Amino acid sequence: MSAAARPLILAYHAVSSTWDSPLAVTEEALEQQAAYLRRRGYRGLTMAEAERLRTDGELPARTVVFTFDDGYRSTLRAAGILERHGYPGTVFAVTAFPASGAHLSWPGIEHELTDATAEQLEPLSWDDLAGLRDRGWEVGSHTVTHALLTAADDAALAAELGDSRQAIAHRLGACATIAYPYGVGDARVAAAARAAGYLAGCTLTGAHLDDEPHRRPRVGMTSADTGTRLRAKVSPVGVALRRSGAARSVRRLRRQRDWIPAAGSAE
Ligand SMILES: [Zn+2]
């Protein structure tokens, strides 16, 4: 146990070997990533568990948090894979979708929805989310509509944070953490998340202070992260290097990934 220990927080979206999209990792890649971390002795926690142990100074030296944004039905495949390695997961759901059953769609990913990919964009239902909770998963918020929060006015920001938290808490009993859509949360968003009652908030990467619960950085994982590349990426040195260049990498990420809108484009 160490007061300075940090969890390794991994960020995923969909899990599919039949969807060629930056949003999907293959089952094989996730399997290899989980197996590698288990061999290395990493203990698996949910986001809220990791945050609570960190606050108490009782986080084990090697902990991993597997997080899945958006709430694709394929998250259920991830649960099966992670379970074989004794790991729970944390899914961040966009709460407008579980009840409506509409295909997941928002600015930046609309082009992903075609006849061939419709199945990949089906959302988890509330029953699916309850099932994950019953398997030891945490269900957190990814807002109501997948809004770019840095571009939302104060009232819209409070509604996206508060209404989604309330919906999940009402359906599933609790909602302690949030992942900001597009991985983007500035100081105003972090303060609003704290005010809305969240214990912690996740970015994708980002410029962060050393200990900022409402802007926890994550490592975005892809199917290419296996073997040597995986070892380098999740090593403490690799994670620290990315943290030090965090602001730079957000800009680079925005250029590389057209599904992350530039700040202000959602106004
Ligand atoms: Zn998202």
Per-residue pLDDT reduced to its tens digit, 229-244:
899 888 877 777 666 5
Exposure on the CB side of residue 107, measured as CA atoms within 13 A: 14
Q: How far is the CA of 260 from the centre of ligand 1 (A)?
A: 9
Q: How far is the CA of 212 from the centre of ligand 1 (A)?
A: 21
pLDDT of 266 > 60? The answer is no
Quick one: which of 138, 57, 49, 143 has its CA closest to 94? Answer: 143
Alpha carbon of residue 37 to chain centroid: 18
Q: How far is the CA of 135 from the centre of ligand 1 (A)?
A: 23
CA distances from 144 to 3, 136, 157 (A): 34, 23, 10
State how far the Cα of 83 lies from the Cα of 73, in Å rounded to an integer: 17
Q: How far is the CA of 196 from the centre of ligand 1 (A)?
A: 19
List pLDDT tens digits, range 170-214: 999 999 999 999 999 999 999 999 999 999 999 987 545 567 999
Q: How far is the CA of 63 from the centre of ligand 1 (A)?
A: 24
CA distances from 136 to 44, 46, 197, 218, 247 (A): 11, 8, 22, 21, 34
pLDDT at 232: 86
Q: How far is the CA of 24 from the centre of ligand 1 (A)?
A: 12
Q: How far is the CA of 128 from the centre of ligand 1 (A)?
A: 18
Q: How far is the CA of 92 from the centre of ligand 1 (A)?
A: 8
pLDDT at 39: 95
Q: How far is the CA of 70 from the centre of ligand 1 (A)?
A: 5
Q: How far is the CA of 149 from the centre of ligand 1 (A)?
A: 12
Q: Once rounded to an integer, what is the mean pLDDT over residues 106-134? A: 94
In this structure, what token pair is assigned to residue 152?
């939302």
**Confidence band (pLDDT; 50, 70, 90) for 249?**
low
State how far the Cα of 265 lies from the Cα of 74, in Å rounded to an integer: 29
Q: How far is the CA of 182 from the centre of ligand 1 (A)?
A: 5
Predicted structure pTM score: 0.89
Quick one: which of 112, 185, 121 has its CA closest to 147? Answer: 185
List pLDDT tens digits, range 142-179: 999 999 999 999 999 999 999 999 999 999 999 999 99
Q: How far is the CA of 237 from the centre of ligand 1 (A)?
A: 27
Find all residues with CB under 8 Å of 15, minimum gap 6, and list them.
24, 25, 26, 27, 30, 68, 72, 74, 75, 77, 78, 81
Q: Once rounded to an integer, what is the mean pLDDT over residues 238-265? A: 54
pLDDT at 248: 55
List pLDDT tens digits, range 42-88: 999 999 999 999 999 999 999 999 999 999 999 999 999 999 999 99
